[in-house]
Structure 1
Amino acid sequence: MRNVIKDWRQRRAARRVTSGDGRPLKPFRWWQLLTRALFHLPLSPGYAVDLPYRANSGSGKARAHLYVGGRHHAVSKLPAAFPVEGGTIEVAISAFGVKRCHYVTTAGAECQLIPDPRSAEGRRARVDRDRPGLSRSIGYLSVLMLLIGVGLNLLQLAEPISGIPAIADSVGRFTSPVHLPIWLNLALAVGAALGSTERSLRLRYSLLDQAGK
């Protein structure tokens, strides 16, 4: 059943792919750190996925752009599945950044595309490569920020939800042991968002990140 759903999603994503216009791939610039992601697949003839974080042409729909040999080959609304030699490049984003940019072979093997070294994802990857101890500490901190922010806010949210008559009659009312001031709740929400953003730079995504949204 899982494979059937996956195949259906891939066919649906493939229908969203349209031909590109052949324009050359622009190099990544430092001022695009917060507005663009760029990934490469060093497989001949050379593939690149360009992800502008802004909505394109005022449509409100984010798009991924596939470049082959340095030229614009195809574009797709997200999530995207670009057919390429030997498999498919799958791309998806979340509210915090990129959550998937992988090459999946026809045999089912997959590997993550390499972020451009000048991009935010590439700079985070360099920290992971050059300073593994610091990278692990940052990773643990991002998870901790998510757990604290999501956990405390859910704990407080459970109290008003349990006051709904239908829920109160079936499971009883819940009184939260934690009541934080508004400014602290906002700070926790910002911390959780920062934690998810850091994780997105490493293409990490889970139900915890979804809750942080």
Structure 2
Amino acid sequence: MFDRVRRRRAARRVRPGDGRALQPFRWWQLLGRALFHLPPSGPHEPEWSVDIRHWQDQASGSVTADLYRDGLCEARSALPAAFPVGDGRIEVAMSGFGVKRCHLVSADGSERQLSPDPRSAEGRRARFDRRHPAASSVIGVVSIALVLSGVLSLAVYLVETVSRIPPIAESVGVIAAPIDLPTWSTVASTVGAAVGSTERALRLRYHWLDAAGN
């Protein structure tokens, strides 16, 4: 039920596009733009593209995505978005670190992730994964470790903070961290978690722990 309500709300945010042509991806847009494509599924089917700018739209005050049909802007929506496409929809959502979802959801519930533009940051990360799978796997493991380190650091801080509340402190005592970490270590853990979450966002591997670790 919650998913149906969420989808209806996302569908209501969709507005008609202005028909402008899709701009090619430029290298200087790596940090502020994401571009995904859905190639035609048949000889008479259109190509769909989703263009996402990571900053807020001045008119709506939120991050928006534009849907392109054969290179022309067909629709626009604030995120999270659910663009109707044929007998399905393209769902788009962002986290604080990048795109966390850009999938075609068919009427039968099956999902297919759109392909990132080869020149985008997501596309470059996907190409690195294809060319260097072993190194890519190592980077993936490191990014998970960085995120978990941030989660652990936050958990220790929260436990100690909550235990200092007078009623709790009188009942169970103050639970201090086993190791008094220096400030630079805490900052490094936070930065590392952000780096790890950003790397995972480039692969659309978002998990709620990414937000918790930061």
User: TM above 0.5, one fold?
Assistant: yes
Contact 2:68 2:74 in 1 (8 A): yes
Q: Distance in 1 between matches of 2:171 and 2:130?
A: 52
Contact 1:156 1:179 in 2 (8 A): no
Q: Distance in 1 between matches of 2:151 and 2:204?
A: 20
Amino acid at match of 1:32: Q
Residue 97 (structure 2) aligns with = 96
Q: Distance in 2 between matches of 1:17 and 1:59?
A: 12
Contact 1:150 1:189 in 2 (8 A): no
Kindly report which structure 2 residues correspond to 1:143-158, keeping only aligned pairs within 5 A, or say none: 143-158=144-159
The range that moved more, 60-69 or 166-175, is: 166-175
Contact 2:49 2:67 in 1 (8 A): yes
- Indicate the SS of the match to 2:46: coil
Residue 74 (structure 2) aligns with = 73
- Indicate the SS of the match to 1:51: strand
- Indicate the SS of the match to 1:52: strand
Residue 201 (structure 2) aligns with = 200
Structure 2 vs 1, CA of residues 82 and 170 (structure 1 numbering), >3 Å: closer, same or farther?
farther
Structure 2 vs 1, CA of residues 68 and 169 (structure 1 numbering), >3 Å: closer, same or farther?
farther
Please list every run of 5 or more consecutive structure 1 residues that lacks an aligned counterpart in the other structure.
none
* 1:123-157 Cα distance to aligned partner (Å, 9 max, x none): 00001111110110000000011112221232133
Q: Could you tell me how far 1:182 is from its partner in structure 2?
A: 1.4
* 1:94-142 Cα distance to aligned partner (Å, 9 max, x none): 0000000000000100010000000000000001111110110000000
Kindly report which structure 2 residues correspond to 1:16-95, keeping only aligned pairs within 5 A, or say none: 16-43=13-40, 44-57=45-58, 59-95=60-96
Are 1:191 and 2:199 an aligned pair? no
Residue 106 (structure 2) aligns with = 105
Kindly report which structure 2 residues correspond to 1:150-189, keeping only aligned pairs within 5 A, or say none: 150-169=151-170, 171-189=172-190
Q: Alignment RMSD, CA only?
A: 1.3
Residue 118 (structure 2) aligns with = 117
- Indicate the SS of the match to 1:31: helix
Contact 1:146 1:208 in 2 (8 A): yes
Please list every run of 5 or more consecutive structure 2 residues that lacks an aligned counterpart in the other structure.
none
Percent of aligned pairs sharing the same letter: 57
Amino acid at match of 1:107: D
- Indicate the SS of the match to 1:13: helix
Structure 2 vs 1, CA of residues 161 and 72 (structure 1 numbering), >3 Å: closer, same or farther?
same
TM-score (norm. length: structure 2):
0.94
- Structure 1's consecutive aligned runs of 4 or more residues displaced over 6 angstroms after TM superposition are none
- Indicate the SS of the match to 1:199: helix
TM-score (norm. length: structure 1):
0.94
Aligned residues: 210
Amino acid at match of 2:19: G
